[in-house]
Structure 1
Amino acid sequence: MTQSITMPHINDPEADLLEILGFIIPLPTPMQNRVKEESLIETFERKKILLSPGEIARRIYFIRSGFMRAYFIDEDGKECTTWFRGKGDLMISVTSFFTQQPAQEYIEVLQDSKVQSLTWLELNAYYADFKEANLIGRILIQKYYILSAESAILLRTQRPEHRYDMLLQNHPEIEQQTTQQNIASYLGISRETLSRIRRKKAKMCHQTQNR
């Protein structure tokens, strides 16, 4: 499977947007100053809904700390989780933000979060004013397109046990960050199936430890 673009490992309690962008390519001082001046830093408590269907995504969020998800409600009224995002990640309703059309999904804060955000207009002004911004934008779009494609393939071709293992690999603390229902909805399985998978893994781990 195609490997996604590697981003720097963040050891600090909070990730920093300029550090992430500077890892991709050194930023000119005027661009750094504008990001510092124009980006909005906010904190949100868990259960906060940052976007609802019908609203237009005006901001792209960089998660300095915390955990979030995107989800939609299907025709049967069930929540279907499409993304989990944590520290050092971007959280965005892709179609709504880049087209400035109404969203079809929710963005929910799962753990108290601190975010840094830019508007659609600010982002496009960076593209116009700085060649580095265009390169960064292309690389980040590639990264999240690859993640989206990998996720779609994973959910359609792999056994539930493998999907769960991959989720834990990408988000090792997810069991503490959200509910079993949200995890099951992301994996496309029932809570009962998830419980069986977790019991099986726990039993295998216990057996390995006792050898």
Structure 2
Amino acid sequence: MDQEEEIKQLVLDAFQDEALYDAYVKVAEEKVFKKGELLIEQGRVCRFCYFIIKGAVRSYYAKDDKEITTSFCFEEDPVFSLESVTRQTPCPESFEALEDTVIEAVSFNDLLVLRQQFPAIERLWLLGVEAYAIWLEERLHSLQFNTAKERYQSLLQKYPYMIQRVQLRYIASYLGITLETLSRIRAQL
């Protein structure tokens, strides 16, 4: 079982526990963000962990009137700034709904209580942080050592649905290339 499957199974198993389920439902709040709305704004402290029920979100850094896309999140993905939420410091990036998005929001303080009360939640947190660290290492390696074409092909292989749901300008930014370069790569394939 790979890490993603392990996390999904742990979620299914954990929420079979009635006490855990009841405690989670008391603190989770469903919210809707319209396309273009910000879930988290750069410079503000991230106080919530969001879990996408339906929709898509991108994270990006804004500097000198330029946006650099750093990640995309879809159904079942968590959305938050790990640095900001754990240190309670201003968030270095913004998180924007790319389509109308339904999420569950849990305050970080409530999540800390759940992690202390329920070992399964703590296990989920640790597995999630571990998966995020591995993803970051893979992304860093790809940006440093793979060609633009290799990065695009890898994205197509791992996330084929992304092309239908995300604007090409955001994908180009995520890959660290211009929109023109992405167009040339797409024409070659």
| TM-score after normalising by structure 1 | 0.82
SS in 2 for 1:7: helix
Please state how far the C-alpha of 1:27 moved relative to its aligned partner: 5.2
Which residue of the other structure, out of 4, 7, 10, is the alignment partner of 2:5?
7
Which residue in 1 is equivalent to 2:164?
176
SS in 2 for 1:162: helix
Deviations 1:97-117 (A, max 9, x none): 111111111100001111112
SS in 2 for 1:111: coil
Which residue of the other structure, out of 69, 74, 80, is the alignment partner of 2:58?
69
Please state how far the C-alpha of 1:25 moved relative to its aligned partner: 5.0
Which residue in 1 is equivalent to 2:31?
42
CA distance in 2, matches of 1:172, 1:91: 20
CA distance in 2, matches of 1:145, 1:5: 12
The question of whether the paired residues in 1 share the 8 Å contact of 2:24 and 2:114 is answered with no
Q: RMSD of the TM alignment (CA)? A: 2.0
Which residue of the other structure, out of 171, 178, 187, is the alignment partner of 1:190?
178
Which residue in 1 is equivalent to 2:188?
200
Percent identity, aligned pairs only, is: 28
Could you list the runs of 5+ residues in structure 1 that have no partner in the other structure? 9-18, 202-211
The question of whether the paired residues in 1 share the 8 Å contact of 2:14 and 2:121 is answered with no
The question of whether the paired residues in 1 share the 8 Å contact of 2:14 and 2:20 is answered with no
One-letter identity of the residue aligned with 2:101: S
Please state how far the C-alpha of 1:93 moved relative to its aligned partner: 1.1
One-letter identity of the residue aligned with 1:103: C
Which residue in 2 is equivalent to 1:110?
98
Which residue of the other structure, out of 30, 51, 58, is the alignment partner of 2:40?
51
Structure 1 pair 24–171 and aligned structure 2 pair: CA distance change class (3 A): farther
More deviation, 24-33/35-44: 24-33
The question of whether the paired residues in 1 share the 8 Å contact of 2:28 and 2:105 is answered with yes
Please state how far the C-alpha of 1:45 moved relative to its aligned partner: 1.1
Please state how far the C-alpha of 1:22 moved relative to its aligned partner: 2.5
CA distance in 2, matches of 1:123, 1:170: 30
The aligned runs of 1:26-41 (5 Å cut-off) are 28-41=17-30
The question of whether the paired residues in 1 share the 8 Å contact of 2:11 and 2:124 is answered with no
SS in 2 for 1:53: coil
Structure 1 pair 47–39 and aligned structure 2 pair: CA distance change class (3 A): same
Please state how far the C-alpha of 1:140 moved relative to its aligned partner: 1.0
Deviations 1:163-197 (A, max 9, x none): 11121223212222121111110000011100000
CA distance in 2, matches of 1:73, 1:156: 21
Larger Rg: 1
2:71 is equivalent to residue 83 of structure 1: yes
One-letter identity of the residue aligned with 1:50: L
Which residue of the other structure, out of 146, 153, 159, is the alignment partner of 2:141?
153
SS in 1 for 2:100: strand
Which residue of the other structure, out of 164, 170, 177, is the alignment partner of 2:152?
164
Please state how far the C-alpha of 1:68 moved relative to its aligned partner: 0.6
The question of whether the paired residues in 1 share the 8 Å contact of 2:34 and 2:99 is answered with yes
CA distance in 2, matches of 1:143, 1:23: 18
Structure 1 pair 68–60 and aligned structure 2 pair: CA distance change class (3 A): same
CA distance in 1, matches of 2:39, 2:18: 31
Report how many aligned residue pairs link the two structures. Answer: 188
